[in-house]
Chains A and B, each alone.
Chain A
Amino acid sequence: MISVTNISKSFGEGAKRIQVLDNFSADFERGKITSIIGGSGSGKSTVLRHLIGAYKPDSGKIIIDGEDITKMNNEQMNEVRKKFGILFQSGALFNSMTVEDNVALPLREHTELPMSTIKIMVTMKLEMVGLRGCEHLKPAQLSGGMLKRIALARAISLDPKIVFYDEPSAGLDPISIGVIDKLMIDLSRKMGITSIVVTHELPSAMRISDKIIMLFKGKIIAEGNPEEIRNSQDSRVLQFINGSPDGPIPFSKSQKDYGEELKEMSLY
């Protein structure tokens, strides 16, 4: 469905240049849930932004449904974008619109359906996420978990083949996480949607994924089904699973040596 070959991406120039992705390659299979996990700053959100066409890679190919999106112009990209839905970390619902208008927006803009049909479809999508009856509310009136569910309803309103999830469970309580997990599994198993999940919520990733890719500093350090990840002997993977503050993934994010920096400061 989606295959990514050798993409690299760096930001900044000269001394401030940071390599965010380094020869990243992966395949995302049709109808399966693939999770990309890793700590903050490991480059997982950057991968997602490449897949949705928000960033262009410095090198490499991204093939979605047989077409290379890195070579597309904006109009061709828009055609591809209609095939997928995205659940943003913040939900990114339009605050000035009601829930109904939010979910109906893609339908109104991209289809010629009459208003009454759109209303029925919106009700169906809201029922799928279990929030029928909130049509008239504004996003500011919803709780965090409800916000994510409405955002999911909007993401699937055009019945996409692919859904991207950016940190679907960040900042939610365990029950809401469970609800979102169930919705993701349902969508994937019952409707055959290809799901790509970017998360740092390891238990949730273990529950839902068919395949897990673990990133560290823009490189893949582990890849496989949840069982393989759990039994991995790689110390970096173990540190992530156990959540130890220090280890091969260092506690200090500073680039400079501590002693050097203090010495320099004492000169002034």
Chain B
Amino acid sequence: MFGSIGRKGFELKDSAETFLKEVSGIWFLTRETLYCSFIEPLKGKPNKWGPVWVQMEEVGVKSTVIVFLVAFLIGVILAFQTAYQLEQLGALEFVGALVGVAVTRELGPLMTALVMAGRVGASFTAEMGTMKVSDEILALETMALNPVKFLITPRFLAILIMLPCLTVMADLMGILGGFFIGVTTLGIDPTPYIDNSLDRMQLKDFVSGIIKSIVFAGIIVMVGSYLAFVIEGGAEKVGQNTRSSVVVSMILIIIADLFFTAIFFFFT
């Protein structure tokens, strides 16, 4: 019996060791990426903006439709769900305030990040993972080009700029969705709806949402890149790591969201 406990103990130790290895791996890659993206340009090796533009289009512009759709529908759903409760309290005109605050503080950044983790994080891992297995990353290294600078930095900068932009647009779409349903279906007058919303929403709600989205951007690109760079072997591993990349970044996004929400809750 003790033998089996001992074995379990060793297994636990092994998996803890693997976990810590992965964490330190992501940390080192993040440090290298930050160095390549922000410190090296100051030392006279400027970033090339061409690839960043390409990635910004890939990451940002091409994601607008899906982000718009999700955010708009979230606004609609939220309006319906809150109206159901608020009506019983006779406070139907507060639907606007509730939708506005919930979307800017929480749902806008979170839903945008989750959609992007699926859409962009997966494509980062699949693309760079395929490059890894077909020796393209080794080829970069042997050409004295830093793969981090060449592959991760453009993606990092692109998503760092585009995710907050998309979040702002998602916020607007969510509020618009709520307004649309509030006015057409729930029968709230447009003027009190808007007044109430503007009354309740504060700049800090919006800013805290943007800060979160910057953190989420970092999580998506670092998890996606790390899981691509550690791939050894073939197509099977690319598939596995692409899946892990989506799952891990989603979990980390939720955890980071909790963490930041708690900070904003206690310190503002």
Q: Which residues of A are interface residues toward B (Cβ below 8 A)?
A: 52-54, 78-79, 81-82, 84, 86, 88-90, 92-96, 105-106, 109-110
Contact = CB atoms under 8 A, between A and B. Distances in A.
B1 to A, nearest CB: 25
Interface in B178-213: none
Contact of B144 (A54, A81, A88, A89): A81
Name A's interface SS.
loop
Nearest to A109: B145
Contact of B139 (A78, A84, A88): A88
B143 A106 contact: yes
Contacts of A92: 134-136, 138-139
15 contacts: A53-B142, A54-B141, A86-B139, A86-B142, A88-B139, A89-B135, A90-B134, A92-B135, A94-B136, A95-B130, A95-B131, A95-B134, A105-B145, A106-B145, A110-B144
A78 B140 CA distance: 11
Nearest to B137: A92
A54 B142 contact: yes
Contacts of A81: 141-144
Contact of B135 (A53, A78, A88, A96): A88
Contacts of A52: 142
Contacts, number: 43
Contacts of A82: 144
A7 B79 CA distance: 71
A249 to B, nearest CB: 27
A79 B143 CA distance: 10
A83 to B, nearest CB: 10
Contacts of B131: 94-95
B138 A54 contact: yes
Residue with the highest number of chain B CB atoms closer than 10 Å, among A52, A84, A89, A92: A92
Residue with the highest number of chain A CB atoms closer than 10 Å, among B131, B134, B142: B142
B144 A78 contact: yes
A260 B144 CA distance: 50
Given A90-B135, A92-B135, A95-B131, 4 more contacts: A81-B143, A105-B143, A106-B143, A106-B145
Interface of B: 127, 130-131, 134-136, 138-139, 141-145
Residue with the highest number of chain A CB atoms closer than 10 Å, among B130, B134, B143, B145: B143
A54 B136 CA distance: 13
Contact of B136 (A95, A106, A109): A95
Q: Name the 5 nearest CB pairs between A and B, nearest first.
A: A78-B144, A92-B139, A92-B135, A81-B144, A86-B142
Nearest to A110: B144
A84 B139 CA distance: 12
B138 A88 contact: yes
Contacts of A105: 143, 145
Contacts of B143: 81, 105-106, 109-110
A94 to B, nearest CB: 6
Contacts of B145: 105-106, 109
Contacts of B134: 90, 92, 95
Nearest to B127: A96
Contacts of B142: 52-54, 81, 84, 86
A121 B145 CA distance: 20
A82 B144 CA distance: 6
A147 B127 CA distance: 20
Contacts of B139: 86, 88, 92, 94
Nearest to A80: B144
Contacts of B135: 88-90, 92
Contacts of A106: 143, 145
B134 to A, nearest CB: 6
Contacts of A94: 131, 136, 139
B256 to A, nearest CB: 31
A163 to B, nearest CB: 12
A8 B143 CA distance: 25
A86 B135 CA distance: 12
Contacts of B144: 78-79, 81-82, 110
Contacts of A78: 144
Nearest to B139: A92
A109 B51 CA distance: 13
